[in-house]
Amino acid sequence: MSDSKLPDDGPIRRRIEDGVETFEATIDGETIQWDAGLTYSRHLQTEQLLTSQAPVSDKPDEMLFIIMHQTMELWIKLMLHEVREAMAALREDKLGRAGKTLDRIATIMRHMIHSWEVLATLSPHDFMTFRGFLRKASGFQSHQYRELEFLLGLKRADLILVHESNHEAKERLTKVLGEASLYDEVLAVLARAGHEIPQNKLTRDWSQPYEASEAVEQAWLAIYTNPEEHWGLYMLGEKVTALEYYFQEWRFKHMKTVSRVIGHKHGTGGSSGVNYLVKALDLSFFPELWAMRTRMTAPKEGGDYSECPHS
């Protein structure tokens, strides 16, 4: 398609480029260009994004509360996408590619952990000004958060109950509950690499909670005891461990921020509040990767101190 010049519109120079009306102006000595084909706001849907903050009170601090939740929801959306990418790579035994994606997820998590600092500027008084307006709305009802827990490997069917009236969320969560998780894919990689993973860990009813297995722990132990021989799987184990490590840190910062803002009051979602959040700190996605660490032993090496005088 040929380019053609159009009449200038004041300081704005116009032309057709690739069949699209294109604009150019000199701003602060720079040649700035844009076109009618795809603008920043059309690509990023900024109109929709920036009109999606709908406070239910007239209290100024509610905006921080809304935007904190919305940004976290966006990051969770990206993590869901990236976990699926990592799982697809694992299914093809592309450990390097999966590792790069797992690193990105861990970086998102670190960013989210740090962002609690912004919410920590919400004092108990600030929150109380609008808490009553929230009625029973609570992060407990975040279907994306639950999907992420399911996708990583923590399957808890009863948590879908709160989505009874949201057909789409209920269907999506039920589907993810019944599919293999990231950890299930990791164990399949171990099995294909020749490690003895029990058959009931490789094919099972995925909607049931994962139960830790001695054989899986032994497989991780073998990998971690001899990393040089199993470098790819060893790095995979470390990258997956990092995800749980950061997820728990996110949970901890949430719990601590909540305790700073509402003390030990019940949550808007009806739970015991901080006590409920503390219980979640014991949840584990990849139990054997943690248990195995206790079993690792150091080789008896080092100086011979047998001749040392007793003092």
Tell the smallest beta-carbon distance from residue 45 to ligand HEM (Å). Answer: 20
Alpha helices in 120-229 (DSSP H): 124-131, 143-152, 167-177, 182-192, 199-202, 214-225
| Sign of CA pseudo-dihedral 173, 99, 298, 218 | positive
Nearest residue (CB) to ligand HEM, 231 versus 245: 245
Provide the binding-site residues for ligand HEM, judged by CB under 6 A. Answer: 68-69, 72-73, 119, 122, 127, 138-140, 142, 145, 254, 258, 261-262, 267-271, 273, 276-277, 280
Tell the smallest beta-carbon distance from residue 77 to ligand HEM (Å). Answer: 11
Instruction: Give the Cα separation of 153 and 171 in Å (integer).
Output: 18
Nearest residue (CB) to ligand HEM, 173 versus 233: 173
Nearest residue (CB) to ligand HEM, 112 versus 197: 112
Tell the smallest beta-carbon distance from residue 115 to ligand HEM (Å). Answer: 8
Three-class secondary structure of residue 60 per DSSP: coil
Tell the smallest beta-carbon distance from residue 216 to ligand HEM (Å). Answer: 25
Tell the smallest beta-carbon distance from residue 168 to ligand HEM (Å). Answer: 18
- Phi and psi at residue 35, in whole multiples of 5°? -140, 170
Three-class secondary structure of residue 130 per DSSP: helix
> 171 CB contacts (<8 Å, ≥6 apart)?
none
Residues 186, 102 contacting (CB under 8 angstroms): no
Distance of CA 80 to the CA centre of its chain: 7
Tell the smallest beta-carbon distance from residue 136 to ligand HEM (Å). Answer: 8
Residue 88 corresponds to which tokens in the numbers above?
């697809």
Contacts of 70-74 with CB under 8 Å at 24 or more apart are 71/115, 72/112, 72/115, 73/142, 73/144
Nearest residue (CB) to ligand HEM, 26 versus 123: 123
Q: How far apart are the first and last CA of the chain?
A: 91
Nearest residue (CB) to ligand HEM, 86 versus 261: 261
Nearest residue (CB) to ligand HEM, 132 versus 270: 270
Tell the smallest beta-carbon distance from residue 243 to ligand HEM (Å). Answer: 16
- Phi and psi at residue 164, in whole multiples of 5°? -50, -40
Nearest residue (CB) to ligand HEM, 206 versus 252: 252
Residues 152, 243 contacting (CB under 8 angstroms): yes
Nearest residue (CB) to ligand HEM, 142 versus 218: 142
Tell the smallest beta-carbon distance from residue 43 to ligand HEM (Å). Answer: 25
Q: Where are the beta strands (DSSP E) in the chain?
A: 4-9, 12-17, 20-27, 30-35
